[in-house]
Chains A and B, each alone.
Chain A
Amino acid sequence: MLAAIGSLSVLGLILGAVLGLASRYLRVEGNPLTAQALALLPGSQCGQCGFVGCGQAAEALTAGTAPPTVCPPGGRAVAEALASLLGKTVDLAGVAEKAPTVAHINENLCVGCTKCFKRCPTDAIMGANNMIHSVFADACIGCEKCFEVCPTECIEMRPIAATLQTWFWPNPATVTA
């Protein structure tokens, strides 16, 4: 009786110690793909994908619950990079349709409440109390966070207009088809 209790206790202690050591030295720090996917995402935590931030989106991507086209501000380039990372084929038709936008502040309506620039994840809005705010279009990622909070609805999301520097010829295959 005593021998049985003793041997089982010793066995339990030894196996517990082994498991304890194994959990310490053989630990896998999450899915390595998640870290790589996270590196590809913009990292602005804008939440347009429906997840709380880029980390959660990266986890969903590697778990297979989110498609590679999950990131709207990343656009085509990010979708393609994610697809090649995850070894998935991706239908880019839907990505190209949604033109990227940037916020624009209607200066006649802005009351200088500073709500928008506190929300901006990329510091793309300049302003101060009771001063008209303004958007740096180059830094804006079109996440619409400011758009949602503006009390006077003076922010509009405008599509990014092509310039002579960014315009290029369309694909001849789609033009003739």
Chain B
Amino acid sequence: MKLFKIRGGVHPEDRKHLAANQAIEDLPLAPLLHVPLQQHIGNPATPAVRRGQRVAKGELIGAAQGPMSAPVHAPTSGRIMGIGSFPAHHASGLSVRTITLQPDGEDRWLEGLEGVPDPFALTPEDVAARVAAAGIVGMGGATFPSAVKLNLRTKYSLHTLVINGAECEPYLTCDDRLMREHAAGVLDGARIMAHALGVSRIIIGIENNKPQAQDAMTGVAAPYPEIRVAHLPMRFPMGSEKHLVQTLTGLETPARGLTADIGIVVHNPATAFAVHQALRQGRPLVARLVTVSGAAINRPRNLRVPLGTPVQHLIDHCGGFREDPAKLVSGGPMMGQPLPSTRVPIVKGSNGVLALTATEINAGPSSPCIRCGSCVDACPCGLLPLNMAAHARAGDLEGTVRLGLMDCIGCGSCSFVCPSHIPLVQFFNYAKGEMAARGRAKQKQTETRRLVEGRAERMEAIQRAKREAMAARKRDTAKPAAAAEA
């Protein structure tokens, strides 16, 4: 298959050997599971259970709120201990509404969960509705509700589904293991999603550092001529959907647009597998694969983890720490976020837990920019990170936006190559957050104005009605008086 070049990118040492040869293991149940109601982009789910209630595995415990949301299901059977606030799987360390479940150890599935014998006989709307009901979100880490993405066909004319098996982040091997061990399931899920999207062409992109996964997927895809497996060159950020699509098709996604603008939808293999389970077995998303790795971990593993399991439980299962980690990261080392503590639960978007040693994180004090231009060469989006960071540092966020802040995908390639250890991507993350906050402030201001005007109008109407009523009363009292006089 002919591939196209993308600009920029870096070649971090992949360090996948730590966990790549560890077959997927089922993680034993933790004594308590903390299932957050917000594990996706959009509105949080609302609790659908009461404290003390007994639930079966796969039972709905949090219902989706609105179309841009996802339901949450019980990861195992047990008793609901409470619904409250618990530290989120998030760098901020903030708490979110969380349902705490005490497993009863039976791990008993909800009765009546049944798959569809032939998902291809369903209408695309039915498939999307089942995917939505199963609580499936983008499992590469973005956690965008998958059903919303499957409904893109109503707004865009689509022609290709891309399965993003690049897994370009170092250390992470859970997609690799999934494609090796469950190739047929991933392929089936991809075919069901293609059916829902109304497209026939499927391209599965896998980087060349995963030859076994490439072979496995090629093997199961052999009977389908419309499915192709692309062997991607190793380069970060190959797994960025816009760059992956450009590599595969040569088409560039418009700035601030979606890949759907050029007729392509990208999904993760883990999402495809979840769709396969939801449609074939009727099982909602209650567990996911997590790579636990890093030089500070005693035994790196790929684990199948019930959602809501505390990170500490995973680390204990992997033999604990070999040495004190310098940094705990959720996700990959390039784009992952630091974990505030090991108490936090695993959520739908967590693909890795990395315990990195000081030598691995290569932190250094930041020194002034020497204008070497390494970051410009590394930026896969063709931006000028050094200038953007200079504007952000000076507080000129509009200047940063003019230089293309909103086209930055936050991949961190610039920070990775910077010889002066300047926190470039950190500046952009801050600037994006600050711009979003300003947008919200502006929105609130227009909303306030609308409310104030509405209130002023209402007050005016009340006053007018009072005056009119008064006038009418006067007329009425004046009339009988005049009549009496006459």
**Is B445 engaged at the interface, CB distance under 8 Å to the other chain?**
yes
Interface residues of B (CB under 8 A from A): 38, 88, 90-92, 94, 96, 366, 392-393, 395, 423, 426-427, 429-430, 432-434, 436-438, 440-442, 444-445, 447-449, 451-455
Instruction: Report the bound CA distance from A164 to B426 in whole Å.
Output: 18
Please classify the interface of chain B as helix (H, G, I), strand (E, B), loop, or mixed, using the class held by over half of its residues: helix
Assess A76 versus B452: contact at CB under 8 Å? Given A162-B92, A169-B426.
no
Instruction: Report the bound CA distance from A78 to B441 in whole Å.
Output: 9
Which A-chain residue is minimally distant from B427 (CB atoms)?
A172
Query: What residues on B are CB-neighbors of A176 within 8 Å?
Result: 366, 423
Instruction: Tell me if B427 and A162 are in contact (CB < 8 A).
Output: no
Instruction: Report the bound CA distance from A170 to B366 in whole Å.
Output: 17
Binary flags per residue of A77-93, CB closer than 8 Å to B gives 1, else 0: 11000000000000010
Instruction: Tell me if A76 and B455 are in contact (CB < 8 A).
Output: no
What bracket does the count of chain A residues touching chain B fall in?
Answer: 20 to 34
Query: What residues on A are CB-neighbors of B38 within 8 Å?
Result: 164
The 8 Å CB contact of B452, one of A44, A78, A169, is A44
Instruction: Report the bound CA distance from A171 to B452 in whole Å.
Output: 34
Q: How far is the CB of B387 from chain A (nearest CB, A)?
A: 15
Instruction: Report the bound CA distance from A92 to B438 in whole Å.
Output: 14
Q: How far is the CB of A90 from chain B (nearest CB, A)?
A: 11
Query: What residues on A are CB-neighbors of B438 within 8 Å?
Result: 76-77
**Is A139 engaged at the interface, CB distance under 8 Å to the other chain?**
yes
Instruction: Tell me if B440 and A166 are in contact (CB < 8 A).
Output: yes
Query: What residues on B are CB-neighbors of A168 within 8 Å?
Result: 429-430, 432-434, 436-437
Instruction: Report the bound CA distance from A141 to B449 in whole Å.
Output: 11
Assess A122 versus B440: contact at CB under 8 Å? Given A164-B92, A164-B94, A164-B96.
no
Please classify the interface of chain A as helix (H, G, I), strand (E, B), loop, or mixed, using the class held by over half of its residues: loop
Q: How far is the CB of A166 from chain B (nearest CB, A)?
A: 7
Which B-chain residue is minimally distant from A176 (CB atoms)?
B366
Query: What residues on A are CB-neighbors of B426 within 8 Å?
Result: 169, 172
Q: How far is the CB of A118 from chain B (nearest CB, A)?
A: 10
Instruction: Report the bound CA distance from A74 to B441 in whole Å.
Output: 8
Assess A44 versus B454: contact at CB under 8 Å? Given A76-B441, A162-B92, A168-B433.
no
Query: What residues on A are CB-neighbors of B91 within 8 Å?
Result: 169
**Is A167 engaged at the interface, CB distance under 8 Å to the other chain?**
yes
Which A-chain residue is minimally distant from B90 (CB atoms)?
A164
Q: What number of residue pairs across chains A and B have CB atoms under 8 A from each other?
A: 84
Instruction: Tell me if A123 and B455 are in contact (CB < 8 A).
Output: yes
**Is A173 engaged at the interface, CB distance under 8 Å to the other chain?**
yes
Interface residues of A (CB under 8 A from B): 42-45, 73-78, 92, 121-124, 139, 141, 162-164, 166-173, 176
Excluding A121-B455, A168-B437, 13 further A-B contacts by CB distance (< 8 Å) are A44-B451, A74-B445, A75-B441, A76-B438, A121-B451, A122-B452, A139-B448, A164-B38, A166-B437, A168-B430, A168-B434, A169-B426, A171-B430
Instruction: Report the bound CA distance from A44 to B434 in whole Å.
Output: 24
Instruction: Tell me if A172 and B423 are in contact (CB < 8 A).
Output: yes
**Which of A42, A73, A124, A169 has the most chain B CB within a 10 Å cutoff?**
A169
Q: How far is the CB of B268 from chain A (nearest CB, A)?
A: 21
Instruction: Report the bound CA distance from A76 to B38 in whole Å.
Output: 29
Assess A169 versus B96: contact at CB under 8 Å? Given A74-B445, A139-B451.
no
Q: How far is the CB of A113 from chain B (nearest CB, A)?
A: 19
Some 12 contacts from A to B, beta carbons below 8 A apart, are A42-B448, A77-B438, A121-B451, A139-B447, A139-B451, A141-B448, A168-B437, A169-B429, A171-B430, A173-B392, A173-B393, A173-B427
Query: What residues on B are CB-neighbors of A44 within 8 Å?
Result: 448-449, 451-452
Instruction: Report the bound CA distance from A124 to B423 in whole Å.
Output: 42
Assess A164 versus B452: contact at CB under 8 Å? Given A78-B445, A169-B426.
no
Query: What residues on A are CB-neighbors of B92 within 8 Å?
Result: 162, 164, 167
**Which of B90, B92, B445 has the most chain A CB within a 10 Å cutoff?**
B445
The 8 Å CB contact of A42, one of B366, B423, B440, B445, is B445
Instruction: Tell me if B432 and A122 are in contact (CB < 8 A).
Output: no
**Which of A43, A76, A123 has the most chain B CB within a 10 Å cutoff?**
A43
Instruction: Report the bound CA distance from A44 to B446 in whole Å.
Output: 11
Give the top 10 A-B pairs by smallest Cβ distance, nearest first.
Answer: A168-B433, A122-B451, A172-B423, A77-B441, A167-B92, A172-B426, A169-B429, A43-B449, A77-B438, A173-B393
Instruction: Tell me if B433 and A169 are in contact (CB < 8 A).
Output: yes
Instruction: Report the bound CA distance from A163 to B436 in whole Å.
Output: 13
Query: What residues on B are CB-neighbors of A124 within 8 Å?
Result: 451
Q: How far is the CB of A9 from chain B (nearest CB, A)?
A: 48
Assess A121 versus B452: contact at CB under 8 Å? Given A164-B38, A172-B427, A173-B427.
yes
Query: What residues on A are CB-neighbors of B434 within 8 Å?
Result: 168, 171
Which A-chain residue is minimally distant from B423 (CB atoms)?
A172
Query: What residues on B are CB-neighbors of A78 within 8 Å?
Result: 441, 445
Q: How far is the CB of B401 from chain A (nearest CB, A)?
A: 13
Instruction: Report the bound CA distance from A113 to B88 in whole Å.
Output: 39
Instruction: Tell me if B430 and A170 are in contact (CB < 8 A).
Output: yes
Instruction: Report the bound CA distance from A121 to B454 in whole Å.
Output: 10
Instruction: Report the bound CA distance from A60 to B392 in whole Å.
Output: 32
The 8 Å CB contact of B94, one of A76, A123, A141, A167, is A167
Which A-chain residue is minimally distant from B422 (CB atoms)?
A172
Query: What residues on B are CB-neighbors of A172 within 8 Å?
Result: 423, 426-427, 430
